[in-house]
Amino acid sequence: MFENMTYEFILAKMLGSIPDDADKREGGFIFDALAPCALELANFYAALSGVLDESFADSAGREMLIRRAAERGIVPYRATFAVVRGEFNADVPLGARFSLDELRYRVIEKSGGGSYKLECESVGTVGNRAAGVLIPVDYINGLTLARVTELLIPGDDDESAEDLRKRYFGSLSVQSFGGNISDYKRFTEKIPGVGSVKVEPAFNGGGTVKLTVINSQFAKPSDELVRLVQDEIDPPDNSGVGAGLAPVGHSVTVEGVDNFVVNIVTSMTFGADWSWGDVAGSVSEAVDGYLYDLAHSWADEDSLIVRISQIETRLLGIAGVIDVQNTSLNGAARNLVIPPNRIPVRGSVVNG
């Protein structure tokens, strides 16, 4: 709004109001008197433009956006700690600490046998390890094998400003109230480790609700995370009585999104001095990136579609690849429609 209110513009306007027969040259009395005023006014307009940007949710920075969202009872999701499953060949005490590379994990619960739950001591996604060898910080008698075998509950970073902005505007268009679809999405997505959810009301008659969740890494959730969501929303032992977040009278079933394997056969032409062995890793990364983007949009789509054109476009962006053709998905040379409540994951990628 004030982009044109520059120092030069303001000074020229001020000098223009002085009669032409006066000495308005640089270095003269009039010029030297008006120039500092013009500079201060330009700085004022620049600051005012910033104030206006911070006054509206679509342009506010993180600090002011948090204050605006708080007016509607919306606060940013805070970073959480990852929980993993560890397997040990000896009993380990609760509270025992282990290192995995630069990270530290602490035993918080025994699951049975040699299986334990461990929580990362570093907050955020950095602790999301699904495998790795654990080294005890303190000596544990008889322990010779310790490893992470599964990511149970992903750790999350602080909610980004853009995600918070999206939630804020979403709250303006749809009112969350009394166990409606928006209400279920709101309190389910608050649970640590949950990325998004699909709500199916009355899926098995009146009063029944089905929630299908995806984890915060937009991957298939662990059974542990699904149980956690079920207990938070509607504990199985007290279903329908309002013991969880679900309203009284609602019987809620929680399931996790499942994987759908996508096998790819394609024909790639390489540049001079390039071969399949040189690009195989990059091909896997490109396919994984595309399928991750699809999984990220899962909650907003009835069914996901893996498109051959998108795969070929991403493969063409890899250094050393000069042509891609004859691509097929799961044996057919056409786009692949993923069944509902499933997300695509990479299977084999063959250069034929």
pLDDT grade, residue 176 (50/70/90)? confident
Residues 228 and 269 in one domain: no
> For the ranges 47-51, 83-87, 325-329, which has the lowest average pLDDT?
47-51
User: Above 90 in pLDDT, residue 2?
Assistant: no
In whole angstroms, what is the distance from residue 17 CA to residue 4 CA?
18
Residue 165, C-beta contacts closer than 8 angstroms, at least 6 positions apart: 57, 58, 65
Among 256, 285, 316, identify where a domain stops.
256
pTM tops 0.85, yes or no:
no
pLDDT confidence of 178, banded at 50, 70, 90? confident
- Whether residue 290 is found in the same domain as residue 347: yes
Span 322-349, average pLDDT = 96
Residue 161 has pLDDT above 80, yes or no: yes
Confidence at 110, pLDDT banded by 50, 70, 90 = very high
Query: What pLDDT does residue 20 have?
Result: 87
Distance CA 213, CA 225 (A): 9
Q: Is 32 helix (H, G, I), strand (E, B) or coil?
A: helix
Give the separation between CA 135 and CA 128, rounded to whole angstroms. 17
The answer to whether the beta carbons of residues 294 and 262 sit under 8 Å apart is no
DSSP state, residue 303: S
What local confidence, expressed as pLDDT, does residue 21 receive?
A: 86
Which residue, of 230, 256, 282, is where some domain finishes?
256
User: What's the pLDDT score for residue 4?
Assistant: 84
Domains: count for the chain: 4
Note whether residue 61 is domain-resident. Answer: no
Shared domain check, 247 and 265: no
Co-location of 244 and 292 in the same domain: no
Band (23; pLDDT cuts 50, 70, 90): confident
Across the range 95-117, mean pLDDT stands at 95
Whether residue 226 is contained in a domain is answered as yes
Nearest-CA neighbor of 6 among 46, 47, 34, 53?
46
C-alpha dist (Å) from residue 287 to 281, 294, 320? 10, 11, 16
Q: Per residue in 63-104, pLDDT tens?
A: 999 999 999 999 999 999 999 999 999 999 999 999 999 999
CB of 320 within 8 A of CB of 270?
yes
For residue 1, tell me if it sits in a domain: no
The answer to whether residues 215 and 221 touch, using CB atoms and an 8 Å cutoff, is yes
In a domain, residue 70? The reply is no
Is residue 267 in some structural domain? yes
35 phi, psi to nearest 5 deg: -60, -50
**Given this model, what pLDDT does residue 99 score?**
97
Report, as an integer, the average pLDDT of 173-188.
Answer: 87
Same domain, 246 and 268: no
Higher-pLDDT residue of 200, 177: 200
Provide the pLDDT for residue 171: 87
What is the percent of the chain with per-residue pLDDT over 70, rounded to a whole number?
Answer: 100
According to DSSP, residue 157 is labeled P
How many other C-beta atoms are found inside a 10 Å radius of the C-beta of residue 8?
Answer: 9
Q: What average pLDDT does this structure show over 181-195?
A: 93
Q: Is residue 161 part of a domain?
A: no
State yes or no: pLDDT of 274 exceeds 80.
yes
Amino acid at 206: G
Indicate if 191 and 238 belong to the same structural domain. yes
Domain of residue 148 covers 83-153
pLDDT band at 6 (very low <50, low <70, confident <90, very high): very high
264-288: string of b/e by CB count within 10 Å (b at 16+)?
bbbebebeeebeeeebeebbeebbe
pLDDT tens digits for range 245-255: 999 999 999 99
Q: Quick one: which H or E segment has residue 254?
A: strand 251-256
Could you give the angle at the alpha carbon of 295 between the alpha carbons of 167 and 174, nearest 5°?
25
Residue 175 has pLDDT above 90, yes or no: no
Which one, of 190, 191, 199, lies nearest residue 250 by Cα? 199
Please check whether residues 289 and 342 belong to one and the same domain: yes
Q: What does 177-210 look like in DSSP terms, one character per residue?
A: -TT-HHHHHHHHTTSTTEEEEEEEETBTBTTEEE
Mean per-residue pLDDT of the chain: 94
Q: Based on the domain organization, do 241 and 180 belong to the same domain?
A: yes
Residue 332 lies in a domain: yes
pLDDT of residue 231: 96
Nearest to 326, CA basis, from 337, 305, 312, 316: 312
What's the mean pLDDT in 180-191? Answer: 93
Residue 72 in any domain: the answer is no
Closest Cα partner for 226 from 260, 199, 253? 253
**pLDDT higher than 90, residue 179:** no
Decide which of 235, 256, 277 is a domain's last residue: 256
Structure confidence at residue 38 (pLDDT): 94
